[in-house]
Structure 1
Amino acid sequence: MTGENVRFGPGGANSRLGPEARRDTWDRLGGEHFDVVVIGGGVVGAGAALDAVTRGLRVAMVEARDFAAGTSSRSSKLFHGGLRYLEQFEFGLVREALHERELMLTRLAPHLVKPVSFLYPLTHRLWERPYTAAGLLMYDTMGGSRSVPGQKHFTRSGALRLFPAMRHDALVGGVRYFDAMSDDARHTMTVARTAAHYGAVVRTSSQVVGFLREADRISGVRVRDVESGEEQQVTCDVVVNCTGVWTDEMQRLAGTRGRFRVRASKGVHVVVPRDRIAAETGLILRTEKSVLFVIPWRNHWIIGTTDTDWNLDLAHPAATRKDIDYVLDHVNTVLMTPLTHDDIEGVYAGLRPLLAGESEESSKLSREHAVARPAPGMVAIAGGKYTTYRVMAADAIDAAAQDLRGRTAPSITDRVPLLGADGYHALVNQADRLADLHGLHPHRVRHLLDRYGSMVHEVLAPAADRPELLEPIPGAADYLKVEVVYGVTHEGALHLSDLLTRRTRISIEYPHRGLDAARPVARLMAETLGWDEETVAREVEIYAERVEAERDSQTKPDDQAADQIRSAAPEARPLVAEPVS
């Protein structure tokens, strides 16, 4: 590799993931030799790319679809320690997760990760309050937690003032505690952009379709651009498989036997308007299997989740009528005014990559992660939870060091703020001035700061010459037109679904599921991506068929019927190949 092609550090790299960068990254994939190639653009893959590049390694990350297109855009949106794991005596796991929560809130992503409160309703007198208080005392002090308030106890009347929508006979008292939440898709994309900022080659719509070998070791991958159909070989010292629920399929494609197996568990969430539940805090409820969260989300509530095995289409898990009924039935046990299907604005289903182990006797490993070296030149990581992605990424690159030449520096991502974090707090204090400068309401500016942080000036820059970009998106007034432009020029959005489901969350935040905004958004995307009218119409049609399929699948009684409907909808990326089975 020639010296002029090496691009280390923010000065030589570009976090602007637009069409020009896409052409450049394709040339770099074929023209450079990498220390590490990461497969998968979810939060663990993006985290592994950031971890490796900030150790000084030459890194490429490829993703078949879009950033966070799988599990990482369909979580409960929480950075949390996992309160229920205390009861399972998983103290190390909880401590580790709470430490990561603290890092995100204070140093790494304060613009993206925010405190959120939950009411834990007490239903038994005498013993339950001291028992819960003892557990929450540990929760409030483990992992260096200092950035959120500690627990606060309430009588029944006090708890009902916090959560007036709750039935009076559903509790005898309550305890409020704090965790943190984030837009998972936006956070994952920002991790990936931060990796690009420090010199990693980061590319979506780039599917690994084969592996290169030298003797008994993996020496690279064959990648297909699923937009154009072009293929090329990418050479490296080690491949890191961060493909979540596709881990086993990727291992089979590589011709290696995995050291662990991954089982997909489906989790379904529903989204309802904020005014349907009168409350000043979130809610956590015990269920027969786990817990159910009612999470405040802007002008909405996210309610979930389910936990059922899924053995069908991994790319598009489908929610059924039974899944939605489960969520509604459980939350309605405590609500004075029950929720109905008519109240639902959005539904999403995601798959957790759980470690099955050798026996599948227990789900105890379900939130732990495992790292393996199934072949020389290849590392695989799976399991874990969103909150601990940074630890998982560091463990994966530590394992990859065995295949790297020379000494590998230790992980430093606990000291590397994500793009938009530096300067964020100062800009929050200047929100009113920023609002005057750009002719926006201060509330709008604060919303932008919580999505982009200190990159807000970069986001709003195109509006200097085109003030109409400061108008709300038709059909989705919570977002500005300029955010669509930025999603294409800087955040790597290539298809309408990328913008409506991940760069924004329009697809779950409006009863129309994004249909009313589809054509205006597609026309804005067309300006940068060079789409003609036929392409705009095709993107809108594909998105509309997806929404129709999702709505239809959500009326079906079981997974097979729902999957048949959902998987029949056309792909935005039709050249994506089915993984090896």
Structure 2
Amino acid sequence: MTQTFSANKRSQYLRELSSRELDVFIIGGGITGAGIALDAVTRGLSVGLVEMQDFAAGTSSRSTKLVHGGLRYLKQFEIKLVAEVGKERAIVYENAPHVTTPEWMLLPIIEGGTFGKLSTSIGLRVYDFLAGVRAKERRKMLKRSETIAREPLLKRDGLKGGGVYVEYKTDDARLTLEVLKKAVEHGATAVNYTKAERFIYGSDNKITAVIVRDLLTGSTYEIKAKYVINAAGPWVDELREADGSKTGKHLFLTKGVHIVVDQQRFPLQQAVYFDTENDGRMVFAIPRDGKTYIGTTDTQYTGEIASPRMTHEDLTYLIETTNYMFPTVQLTEADVESSWAGLRPLIFEEGKSASEISRKDEIFESPSGLLSIAGGKLTGYRKMAEKIIDMICGKEGITASGMTESLILSGGEVGGSKNLEAFISTHTERGVGLGLTGSEARKLTRLYGSNITKVYDLLPAAKEEAAKYHLPEAVLAALIYGLEEEMVMKPIDFFNRRTAALFFDIAWVKQWKDEVIRYMEEHFQWSSEETASYREELEHEIQLAATPKAGSERQKQPVAK
């Protein structure tokens, strides 16, 4: 049964979810929950999913936006993890090439730094072997002159050489959406802005249903399910507490922060992964779409889960770190266009610092039957999903095995990764023929992959309405697609999770926000109060992205014992 994923039918989906007993009900609409929904529904299970914010609004839109191979885990002797995520990133690339791009990463070798020339060479060679890296993407060691040629902005003092290896850039929020859209295509039902408020138990004290509240309308629904999966990311422990089953291991939240600078101000040629001068933490500097973004700091976080923010302390740290490694750039706070902060829900390990804690995932099964999954990495989402659905299938005597390893995700039908550029070229030409500029058509094709045909089909309607709303046809077509195919409910959904513009093109957000709000106001028939609320929310997010907050929340490294 093929489902739709339209904002216009959201209340209908909730009514349908409450009208029957599901095999699997998932709480959490990040990459983990989306992956579980896809694995479960493709094995023939009936699946429902709710997310209390927008899909991917938490960790899954606030990562370093890399499908990691896990080089840092080799340093921690996480051999099995390196091998697994190395394989998984290749699977993600083949199944969703439109949102996954190979990126050569330069690891500079600095005298007195964390990485020596011999240890780096051996480490990268072992990494290539464990991760099953393809021959053309295997590591190369560089002389000092070659390293400088790759990235002339690097500090020269103490530079001994470098190593290069391949990572994969991604749009984390769009990857989550493409997984979720594929799950919906196969029959899953997913709804955003819906909060799981309490569990209902049977006479045997097993969970039989979940009471959820539609946060946009206030309506509540009872959703029955044989199995309830807690994939709520940083909120996993809160649901375990609600179930009375938070015992033993618990979450350890760390915060990563990133800043975005225009490439005219920081003309980085080559992605660089480097250790900092004083504390040895690792930082990425990555070029993307005319911008350069820098992060992360990986510190323990004990603040408000729903709204982690970059502090002035974080900002100063990243600017000083960047200016140390790229001394001629001399960034200032005024150069930072936007920023974001995200939480990593790791499993606490006694005596380990935030950057040392393992990224391995774990499943907790409570006496009530609640299955909670935490830890892990974006790269390993598919294996995490497979693991928990294998557990359920084992309990139910279901023999169907997972099929997601070779399942092309929504938008990924481009003829394989090798054909991506040809696909983009062909559909860019088509877009130009439909009246778009070359840059507009290419941007849309890169964003939506094979779903670009659906976006182009909306252009006639967009042409008719564009003048009325003073919007470019390309922007309006993307917005209509988001409403009809990606459950865009608020302006912030469109400008952040659907287009990534809030982080990487904040000027574009400011340029079109009023017109987009006006269109959505008429589309949803919002009251003046609703429109004002959604406008205020968007303006608040723009301000926070552009301006780190003063002071700092309580964040520290755990004391080793």
Fold in common (TM above 0.5): yes
3-state SS of 1:456 partner: helix
Match of 1:238 among 206, 213, 227: 227
1:165 aligns with 2:161: no
Distance 1:356 1:489 in 2: 41
Flag the 1:412–1:235 CA change in 2: closer, same or farther, 3 A.
same
> Which residue is equivalent to 1:317?
308
1:488 partner SS: helix
> Is residue 456 of structure 1 aligned with residue 452 of structure 2?
yes
Q: Is the 8 A contact 2:260 2:338 kept in 1?
A: yes
Q: 1:244 to 1:151 in 2, by over 3 A?
A: same
Q: Which amino acid in the other structure matches residue 431 of structure 1? A: H
Residues 237-284 of structure 1: CA distance to partner in whole angstroms, max 9, x if unpaired?
110110111111001112223442001111111011122223321011
- Which residue number in structure 2 is paired with residue 492 of structure 1? 487
- After superposition, residues 127-206 of structure 1 pair within 5 angstroms as 128-146=116-134, 149-169=137-157, 171-206=159-194
User: Equivalent of 1:414, from 373, 395, 405?
Assistant: 405
- The percent of aligned pairs where both chains have the same amino acid is 32
Q: How does 1:205-244 map to 2 (within 5 A)?
A: 205-214=193-202, 215-244=204-233
List alignment gaps of at least 5 residues for structure 2: 556-561
Counterpart of 1:119? 106
> Are residues 181 and 258 of structure 1, via their aligned partners in 2, closer, same or farther at CA, if it must alter by over 3 Å?
farther
Residues 362 and 294 of structure 1, relative CA distance in 2, 3 Å threshold: closer
Are 1:330 and 2:321 matched, yes or no? Answer: yes
Aligned to 2:427: 431
CA distance 1:148–1:457, change in 2 (3 Å): farther
Per-residue deviation, residues 503-528 of structure 1 (Å, max 9, x unmatched): 12222224559344321121232343
Deviations 1:306-355 (A, max 9, x none): 12221121010121110111111111102112111111011101111010
Report the counterpart of residue 575 of structure 1 in structure 2: none
Answer with 49-58 or 422-431: which moved more. 422-431
Please give the TM-score of this superposition, normalised by the length of structure 2.
0.91
* Residues 273 and 285 in structure 2, CA contact (< 8 A), matched pair in contact too: yes
In the alignment, structure 1 segments of 5+ residues that lack a partner are 1-11, 562-581
Cα distance 1:495–1:89, how it changes in 2: closer, same or farther (>3 A)? same
Number of equivalences: 543
Q: Distance in 1 between matches of 2:124 and 2:466?
A: 44
CA distance in 2, matches of 1:218, 1:465: 47
Superimposed CA distance per residue, residues 209-248 of structure 1 (whole angstroms, 9 cap, x where no aligned partner): 0111112211121111111111111111110110111111
- Find 1:556's aligned residue among 543, 550, 554: 550
Q: Are the aligned partners of 1:344 and 1:511 in contact in 2 as well (CA < 8 Å)?
A: no
Task: For 1:442-481, list aligned pairs within 5 A.
Answer: 442-467=438-463, 480-481=475-476
- Choose from 57, 63, 69 the match for 1:69: 57
What per-residue deviation string (whole Å, max 9, x for no partner) do you get for residues 154-200 of structure 1? 33232222212223225222222211011111111111111111001
Residue 293 of structure 2 corresponds to residue 306 of structure 1? no
| TM-score normalised over the length of structure 1 | 0.88
Rounded Cα–Cα distance in structure 2 between residues aligned with 1:347 and 1:500:
14
User: Equivalent residue of 2:345, what SS?
Assistant: strand
Q: 1:23 to 1:321 in 2, by over 3 A?
A: same
> 1:513, 1:254 → 2: CA distance?
44
1:525 aligned residue: 520
Does 1:346 pair with 2:338?
Answer: yes
Contact 1:55–1:408 (Cα < 8 Å) also in 2: no
Are 1:60 and 2:42 counterparts?
Answer: no
* Secondary structure of 1:366's aligned partner: coil
Q: 2: distance between equivalents of 1:427 and 1:251?
A: 46
Whether contact under 8 Å (2:271, 2:284) holds in the other structure is yes
Aligned to 1:97: 85
Aligned equivalents of 2:212, 2:261: Cα separation in 1: 41
Structure 2 match to 1:28 = 16
CA shift in 2, pair 1:458/1:259, >3 Å? farther
8 Å contact from structure 2 (residues 69, 131) kept in 1: no
* Structure 1 residue 67 displacement after superposition: 0.4
Matches within 5 A, 1:228-307: 228-287=217-276, 288-307=279-298
- Paired with 2:406 and 2:537, the residues of 1 have a C-alpha distance of 42
Change (3 A) 1:452 1:402: same
